[in-house]
């Protein structure tokens, strides 16, 4: 978002590859230096500026509100207990998230909405039966290491690849595709927590967790690989 302003000031693109210019601190963006800001030596400056402007404009005008309501009623209608993390800045059109009063009444005693949780500690808890995740690698790995099956909603980058492994290779979760609609959400939650298909996913997730634990123990494959790397580095 700072890119246009830096262009207007004449700081981008850098006029030379001089080290002192590239190391110049950016007063409004401490602790960043000019070299830390996105610019490309291959794309034209005009294209970079146009691309970043489009990204910023779309992000500022987006609004995750209709989907938020569909998720809320999908969770409510599933009749399952849930813990839902909603960051304060999640919906771009509002500084705070408003859920319907009747949603709070319907889910009273079985639903909790919070702005943040220690994710791995939550996943480790015996009460957790499933994890609705965007399938970033950290979240996917934490879910695997705690033996928790997943409802997958990837968005970009590596997340789609991670989801495909979760669904089709490890078979410890499934993708929630298409537009978010409360009926589909209700069926997905029910499938994961109440149906035989979900029970088998949960069992496979626990088996994968046991393999992960074995890997990091003495003589496990991950432990051995790290030791080989350390020994190799120390040999120089």
- Which residue range(s) make up the domain with 155? 65-216
Phi-psi sector, 39: left (phi>0), alpha (psi -120 to 50), beta: beta
Report residue 223 as tokens: 């432990």
The fraction of the chain above a pLDDT of 90, given in percent, is: 63
In a domain, residue 196? The reply is yes
Q: How many CB atoms lie within 10 A of CB 202?
A: 19
In a domain, residue 155? The reply is yes
CA gap 86, 73 in Å, rounded: 15
Residues 23 and 135 grouped into a single domain: no
Q: Each residue of 75-113: pLDDT tens digit?
A: 999 999 999 999 877 666 555 567 888 998 999 999 999
Q: Provide the domain count of the chain.
A: 2
Residue 25: what are its φ and ψ, rounded to 5°?
Answer: -70, 145
Report residue 218 as tokens: 């003495």
Q: Each residue of 126-181: pLDDT tens digit?
A: 999 999 999 999 999 999 999 999 999 998 889 999 999 999 999 999 999 999 99
Per DSSP (E only), the strands in 130-203 are 131-133, 150-152, 173-175
Q: Considering the entire predicted model, what is its pTM?
A: 0.74
């Amino acid at each position: 978002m700072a890119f246009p302003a830096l262009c207007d000031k004449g700081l981008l693109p850098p006029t030379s590859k001089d080290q002192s210019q590239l190391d110049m601190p950016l007063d409004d963006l401490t602790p960043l230096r000019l070299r830390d800001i996105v610019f490309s030596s291959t794309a034209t400056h005009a294209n970079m500026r146009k691309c970043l402007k489009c990204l910023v404009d779309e992000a500022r005008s987006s609004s995750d509100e209709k989907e938020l309501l569909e998720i809320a009623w999908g969770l409510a209608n599933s009749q399952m207990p849930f813990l839902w993390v909603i960051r304060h800045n999640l919906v771009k059109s509002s500084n705070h998230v408003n859920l319907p009063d009747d949603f709070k009444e319907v889910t009273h005693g079985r639903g909790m909405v919070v702005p943040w949780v220690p994710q791995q500690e939550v996943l480790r808890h015996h009460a957790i039966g499933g994890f609705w995740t965007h399938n970033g690698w950290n979240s996917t790995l934490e879910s695997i290491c705690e033996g928790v099956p997943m409802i997958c909603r990837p968005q970009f980058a590596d997340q789609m690849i991670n989801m495909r492994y979760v669904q089709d290779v490890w078979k410890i979760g499934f993708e929630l595709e298409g537009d978010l609609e409360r009926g589909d959400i209700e069926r997905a939650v029910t499938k994961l927590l109440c149906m035989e298909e979900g029970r088998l996913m949960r069992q496979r997730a626990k088996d994968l967790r046991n393999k992960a634990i074995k890997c990091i123990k003495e003589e496990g494959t991950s432990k051995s690989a790290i030791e080989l790397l350390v020994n190799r580095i120390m040999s120089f």
